[in-house]
């Protein structure tokens, strides 16, 4: 029938058909995460431990630190210019120890080997100073606010109103499950767990007419976690070097690890259900309300998982960039975070993009937001700013108007970000596991942690028209911060 209509009418009908489909659409989306004991995350944590050691003594350190690990070896390499005197060996060993890796046997049939031993591992170091070519183009002879980007690149930030943290539910649950696995291991509740592990969560969503997404139910949970030998491992042997106090207190150190079947039951109650009871949805209900008999559970689906850590797989800094961000939602520019000082916009500008996106959503300007920045090496001002609302912008606002609002209220020059987000503080090691976003900001020992998670209050713009926003932009000093 469309062939009998003129082109304009045909196009209109096709658009309406797509709209109707969008209004009724449901879909499945999955996100994964890994524990702090995963070899790639071990590498991230060592790299950020080195960064923290540099910044603690010299806040203007220039750091590009990579780490790799395999079997009972950790290698730290990269480019660092700092006034700090660094003991790389001690820094690496402490990071490995904090994770809980305290035994290694060069035997893949061993049930005692956890994957690496912080006391006996080999630590290799290959570090030189930052290239003088880069230093001269980026920061030498420049004021704080004129410091250029450490490299070219694109960065993204994402936010959604489906949870109180403005994070996608799939990623939030996957990440928090991994953190809970670590918590119950370290507090002794499930003492037979070991550091390595992975999680994955699938949620059924409804895409609403306005472009927002609404989680309907938790469809699938996958957990693969390293553990001691079922039915044989003794608590006294497993915890001999961790200093972990068993819980409950009645537990005796001659306890034996449960069977695989019992392990899976305990993981379901102590990890999955406990985690879901801690996450709040936008409707005020807990995420456990989306979980039930309909949820497909796969706990250690491949069977036993005793050998793990670097003995099971090699690890490298920067290989978990989707886990570090939004679990596949939004977009990613490709740059990793860990081991990089604030002049590296792969990290600092990605933090800024998250704060801008979260501010847009938390202020009620849109229900979902994706923000992109781009930079050139040695240039302070971002080259471009892009805001996508997926059609969820509110009131009379448009994506263009929201872009102007962001320009008025944010300064994304690297030097400005270092100041506003307090990025020259030694506070990065805790970001290197369980996600850089959706975390609760706090202050400790004079440092402001996860400062980019503090959304600005821009509710005053919600009732403005695009013309009024444009007037506000013209009155502002945005050209000192942004290109026109």
Number of Cβ within a 10 Å radius of residue 289:
14
For 306, phi then psi, to 5°, come to -95, -50
Catalytic residue among 32, 36, 40, 472: 40
Eight-state DSSP code of residue 217: E
Catalytic residue among 29, 32, 38, 358: 38
Whole-number Cα distances in Å, 161 to 32, 121, 166, 167, 212 = 20, 45, 5, 7, 8
Catalytic residue among 48, 117, 346, 404: 346
- Active-site residue 29, yes or no? no
- Active-site residue 98, yes or no? no
Catalytic residue among 179, 320, 436, 439: 320
- Active-site residue 107, yes or no? no
The encoded tokens of residue 227 equal 């553990």
Eight-state DSSP code of residue 394: -
Cβ atoms of 54 and 84 within 8 Å: the answer is yes
Catalytic residue among 185, 340, 354, 393: 340
What is the distance between the alpha carbons of residues 341 and 421, in angstroms, rounded to a whole number? Answer: 13
What is the distance between the alpha carbons of residues 209 and 36, in angstroms, rounded to a whole number? Answer: 39
Catalytic residue among 319, 354, 367, 481: 319
- Active-site residue 198, yes or no? yes
Catalytic residue among 41, 219, 407, 427: 41
- Active-site residue 457, yes or no? no
CA dihedral 316, 318, 323, 328 (to 10 degrees): -120
Q: If DSSP codes are grouped into helix, strand and coil, which group holds residue 316?
A: strand
What is the distance between the alpha carbons of residues 434 and 425, in angstroms, rounded to a whole number? Answer: 20
- Active-site residue 219, yes or no? no
- Active-site residue 324, yes or no? no
Alpha carbon 165 to its chain centroid, in Å, reads 13
- Active-site residue 234, yes or no? no
What is the distance between the alpha carbons of residues 274 and 179, in angstroms, rounded to a whole number? Answer: 11
Catalytic residue among 36, 66, 324, 388: 66
Whole-number Cα distances in Å, 294 to 284, 291, 324, 397, 482 = 22, 7, 29, 40, 50
CA dihedral 278, 281, 286, 291 (to 10 degrees): -110
Half-sphere exposure of 321 (CA within 13 A, CB side): 16
Number of Cβ within a 10 Å radius of residue 232:
10
Instruction: List residues bridging with 63 in a β-sheet.
Output: 80
Catalytic residue among 305, 410, 437, 449: 305
What is the distance between the alpha carbons of residues 32 and 35, in angstroms, rounded to a whole number? Answer: 11
Cβ atoms of 248 and 234 within 8 Å: the answer is no
- Active-site residue 40, yes or no? yes
Catalytic residue among 62, 114, 194, 198: 198
What is the distance between the alpha carbons of residues 286 and 282, in angstroms, rounded to a whole number? Answer: 9
- Active-site residue 346, yes or no? yes
C-alpha closest to that of 390 among 336, 334, 440, 331: 331
CA geometry: angle 419, 424, 428, nearest 5 deg: 125
Any idea which residues carry the catalytic annotation?
38, 40-41, 66, 79, 198, 305, 313-314, 319-320, 340, 344, 346
């Amino acid at each position: 029938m469309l062939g009998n209509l003129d082109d304009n009418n045909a196009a209109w009908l096709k658009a309406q058909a797509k709209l109707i489909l969008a209004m009724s659409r449901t879909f499945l989306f999955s996100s994964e995460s890994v524990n702090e004991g995963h070899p790639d995350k071990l590498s991230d944590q060592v790299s950020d431990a080195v960064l923290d050691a540099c910044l603690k003594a010299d806040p203007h350190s220039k750091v590009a630190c990579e780490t790799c690990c395999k079997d009972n070896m950790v290698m730290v390499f990269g480019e660092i210019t700092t006034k700090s005197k660094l003991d790389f060996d001690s820094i690496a060993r402490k990071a490995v120890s904090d994770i809980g890796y305290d035994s290694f046997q060069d035997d893949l049939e061993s049930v005692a080997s956890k994957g690496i031993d912080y006391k006996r591992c080999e630590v290799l170091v290959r570090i030189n100073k930052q290239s003088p070519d880069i230093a001269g183009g980026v920061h030498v002879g420049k004021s704080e606010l004129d410091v250029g980007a450490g490299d070219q690149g694109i960065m993204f930030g994402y936010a959604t109103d489906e949870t109180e943290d403005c994070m996608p539910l799939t990623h939030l649950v996957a990440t928090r499950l991994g953190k809970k696995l670590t918590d119950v291991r370290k507090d002794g509740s499930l003492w037979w767990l070991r550091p390595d592990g992975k999680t994955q969560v699938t949620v059924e969503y409804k895409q609403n007419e306005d472009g927002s997404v609404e989680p309907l139910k938790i469809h699938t949970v996958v957990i693969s976690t390293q553990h001691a030998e079922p039915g044989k491992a003794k608590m006294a042997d497993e915890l001999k070097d961790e200093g972990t106090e068993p819980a409950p207190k009645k537990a005796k150190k001659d306890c034996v690890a449960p069977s695989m079947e019992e392990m899976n039951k305990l993981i379901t109650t102590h990890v999955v259900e406990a985690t879901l009871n801690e996450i709040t949805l936008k409707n005020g209900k807990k995420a456990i309300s989306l979980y039930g008999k309909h949820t497909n559970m796969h706990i250690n689906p491949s069977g036993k998982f005793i050998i793990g850590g670097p003995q099971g797989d090699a690890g490298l800094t920067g290989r978990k960039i989707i886990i570090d961000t939004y679990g596949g939602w939004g977009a990613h520019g490709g740059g990793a975070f860990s081991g990089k000082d604030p002049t590296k916009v792969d990290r600092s500008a990605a933090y800024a993009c998250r704060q801008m996106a979260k501010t847009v959503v938390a202020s009620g300007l849109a229900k979902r937001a994706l923000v992109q920045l781009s930079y050139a090496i040695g240039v302070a001002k971002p080259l471009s700013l892009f805001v996508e609302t997926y059609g969820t912008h509110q009131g009379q606002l448009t994506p263009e108007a929201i872009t102007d609002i962001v320009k008025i209220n944010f300064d994304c020059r690297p030097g400005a970000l270092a100041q506003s987000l307090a990025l020259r503080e030694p506070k990065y090691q805790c970001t290197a596991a369980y996600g850089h976003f959706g975390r609760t900001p706090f202050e400790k020992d004079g440092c402001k942690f996860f400062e980019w998670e503090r959304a600005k209050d821009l509710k005053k713009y919600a009732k403005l028209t695009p013309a009024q926003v444009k007037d506000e932009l013209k009155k502002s000093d945005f050209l000192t911060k942004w290109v026109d």
